[in-house]
Structure 1
Amino acid sequence: MKIKHAAEERHVLTLIVDNEAGILAKIAGLFTARGYNIDSLTVSDVSDNHDTSRITIVTHGPPAIIDQIRAQLDRLVPVHKVIDLTEEGPHVERELALVKVVGKGEHRVEALRLADVFRAKPVDTTTGSFIFELTGAPDKIDTFVGLMRELGLVEVARTGIVGMTRGTAAV
């Protein structure tokens, strides 16, 4: 288990890249070769003609390492732009999770009650289980998952974080 040092910071990086084969492998290889960790990774096509993708990476490290990561990503040929949302200022982060809970009786009732409090939507229901869909900030999802552990959590699938700066400016 890697020990985090007090000076480590969490950063959300957004990259605009050419939508081409191998770009994700190049980016992951950059992190792997230098021993950096990716905490969350999402990729999606964001252009009408399918030639541009947006990659969101959540990583952590001391400020000097984060600066080095940004500089190295910026040097990759298919990367058009690297934005550190954490440094840019106010931004929105969201994640989607599917959470499967198995239970009967009071556990089932309590799972539904908590889902309502967290605005989690049941997307599949059987007599013995629920699958809840939950969207929100990562800490909200962490809290919901933690509460469901006590009620019969059996499976979690998370999309990873997406983020965007607040206000009128575009990346």
Structure 2
Amino acid sequence: MQRHTIAVLVNDYPGVLMRVANLFGQRGFNIDSITVGASEEPGLSRMIITTGGDEQKIEQLMKQLSKLIDVISVTNLSENPFVSRELALIKVSATPSQLAELNGIVEPFRATIVDVGPTSLIVQVTGDTEKIDALLVLLQNYGVVELTRTGTLAMARSVVPATV
């Protein structure tokens, strides 16, 4: 099953998120991640939804999303090159004496230690899903106490015009 990233531009009204999420559930799709926030146009929000499914089922889902009243546009970002990022905060069981060791682990990921306590520290990392998953694997040896992730944010890449 392929993973798809779908951008849905919607009116910023109460209940729109619920209607979109219900459509996924009714059609048997699991939402792997969903982020919703203001768009470049006042009064509109953009949802970035990641889900799995084959091309035919995703195409059908997108058609059904387009029929919802408050949906302005639906785009399968996975069809073309796109940029995606997540933010994660990871609380790791560690003592202050392990700070240098853990800093050596997180530094190659361009992650930072944003809080240090007597029994744990918090790492902040941004990047694609695979990068965050790879860091998590390395931090498991220390004991991940708590994890929170934003979900995927994504945007289509700019198209470079062909030269003549």
**TM-score normalized with structure 2 length:** 0.91
SS of alignment partner, residue 142 of structure 1: helix
Is the CA contact 1:14–1:82 (under 8 Å) kept in the aligned structure 2? yes
2:28 to 31, 35, 38: 35
Residue 128 of structure 1 is matched in structure 2 by 119
Which blocks of at least 5 consecutive residues in structure 1 are unaligned?
1-7
Which blocks of at least 5 consecutive residues in structure 2 are unaligned?
none
**Alpha-carbon distance between aligned partners in 2 of 1:125 and 1:162, rounded to the nearest angstrom:** 28
**TM-score normalized with structure 1 length:** 0.88
Residue 73 of structure 1 is matched in structure 2 by 65
Question: Could you say if the C-alpha distance between residues 34 and 48 of structure 1 is closer, same or farther in structure 2, counting changes exceeding 3 Å?
Answer: closer
- Please identify, of 99-108 and 159-168, the stretch whose mean Cα deviation from structure 2 is larger: 99-108
**Alpha-carbon distance between aligned partners in 2 of 1:47 and 1:119, rounded to the nearest angstrom:** 29
Residue 107 of structure 2 is matched in structure 1 by 116
2:39 to 46, 49, 65: 46
Which residues in structure 2 correspond to 1:78-157 (within 5 Å)?
A: 78-87=70-79, 89-104=80-95, 107-157=98-148
Question: 1:134: Cα distance to partner?
Answer: 0.4
Question: 1:98: Cα distance to partner?
Answer: 0.2
Residue 150 of structure 2 is matched in structure 1 by 159
Cα RMSD between the aligned structures? 1.6
1:25 to 4, 10, 18: 18
SS of alignment partner, residue 33 of structure 2: strand
The one-letter code matched in structure 2 to 1:67 is: E
Is the CA contact 1:97–1:159 (under 8 Å) kept in the aligned structure 2? yes
Is the CA contact 2:38–2:44 (under 8 Å) kept in the aligned structure 1? yes
Question: 1:168: Cα distance to partner?
Answer: 5.7
Question: Could you say if the C-alpha distance between residues 63 and 20 of structure 1 is closer, same or farther in structure 2, counting changes exceeding 3 Å?
Answer: same
**Alpha-carbon distance between aligned partners in 2 of 1:127 and 1:151, rounded to the nearest angstrom:** 14
Residue 4 of structure 1 is matched in structure 2 by none
Q: Does 1:62 align with 2:68?
A: no
- Please identify, of 22-31 and 99-108, the stretch whose mean Cα deviation from structure 2 is larger: 99-108
Question: 1:104: Cα distance to partner?
Answer: 2.8
Residue 5 of structure 1 is matched in structure 2 by none
**Alpha-carbon distance between aligned partners in 2 of 1:32 and 1:146, rounded to the nearest angstrom:** 30
Identical positions, percent: 38
Q: Write out the 4+ residue segments of structure 1 that deviate beyond 6 Å after TM superposition.
A: none
- Between the two proteins, the alignment pairs up a number of residues equal to 160
Q: Does 1:12 align with 2:5?
A: yes
Question: Could you say if the C-alpha distance between residues 22 and 43 of structure 1 is closer, same or farther in structure 2, counting changes exceeding 3 Å?
Answer: same
